[in-house]
Structure 1
């Protein structure tokens, strides 16, 4: 099984989403002996945000490109290939200012590629091309943004990831959430333990 592990938090060892994504990967790897993990740390090795020059270069691959553009094109190709090759994808989803980190958005922009992970049919309908993949999101939120909370309407992290994944045909991601982790030590401990209990039920 090819497993792609993505982390997006800028908090390093202090990150709850990283802790939980690592635990989820370890859990899946313990379930079978054929797991091959590819890891990408979007904070330590950020992907450039999309530019008009990059999109133009994609349309003109035979042109003479600068060294920087060739490197950016190579990164985009590698990111897409990692995604396409993976059977299972575990994504540590940090939550900043109501949404995902810009580093994770940059990764999404290299994965949502027309003709590769989605297409429009001749009738104009959207068709996702990556629907056979399993995706596990480990989401960490400082406050409380669940469906039954007053801040549910401004939760644009998990909801964004669900929409982006649905765009490429992945409609049922498994979501592990630890929230309220910034509201006090007891709440943080409870949130993490609850999330770990959920992870312990994952099967490969």
Structure 2
């Protein structure tokens, strides 16, 4: 078994999403002591935004790659293979300006590959990346309902992972982190209860 942990918060020790990914990782490693834990910190080691070379590296057959694309292919494909090799994926996803950090979006862009993680048919899109549990550690400074049009963080992630076929998807959320320590403590307590049930 492999557990993949992804962090994207830029706020270091103050990060609530990183505190959540710590707790979620601890929960699953204690339940699966023989599992291999793989960490990818998108702030310490950011992925560049995709460009024509990286897009072609991911979306075209290796035998067609010219020199620059061939050079990019191993690192680009490694991100995708790391995800496919994982049985549990833990993602730290704070809300930044009503969406997700651009570092996390760059990672998602490596997972959305036609013919690999999804395909189109006469009946519509079909996800090909199921068979794994994805747990998203969500933190938000305010409080948002799922119906709010301004909420483009969790809705984006839910849409994306369902599109590529992930049907075992969970959110552990701490909201109102901008309201002060007491509110954060209350939110973390509730999050711990959610994690215990995963």
TM-score, reference length from structure 2: 0.91
Indicate conservation of the 8 Å contact 1:117/1:128, yes or no: yes
> SS state of the match for residue 86, structure 1?
coil
Match of 1:132 in 2: 131
Pairwise CA distance, 1:43: 1.1
Deviations 1:31-77 (A, max 9, x none): 122211111001111111111232234537454434xx555432211
Q: How does 1:11-30 map to 2 (within 5 A)?
A: 11-30=11-30
> SS state of the match for residue 178, structure 2?
coil
Flag structure 1 segments of 5+ consecutive residues without an equivalent.
none
Deviations 1:84-104 (A, max 9, x none): 111111111111000000111
RMSD over aligned CA atoms reads: 1.8
TM-score, reference length from structure 1: 0.89
Match of 2:45 in 1: 45
Pairwise CA distance, 1:146: 2.7
The question of 1:188 aligning with 2:188 is answered no
Flag structure 2 segments of 5+ consecutive residues without an equivalent.
none
Match of 2:67 in 1: 65
Q: How does 1:34-183 map to 2 (within 5 A)?
A: 34-58=34-58, 59=60, 61=62, 62-66=64-68, 72-121=72-121, 123=122, 125-147=124-146, 152-183=148-179
Distance 1:134 1:65, change over 3 A: same
How many correspondences in the alignment? 196
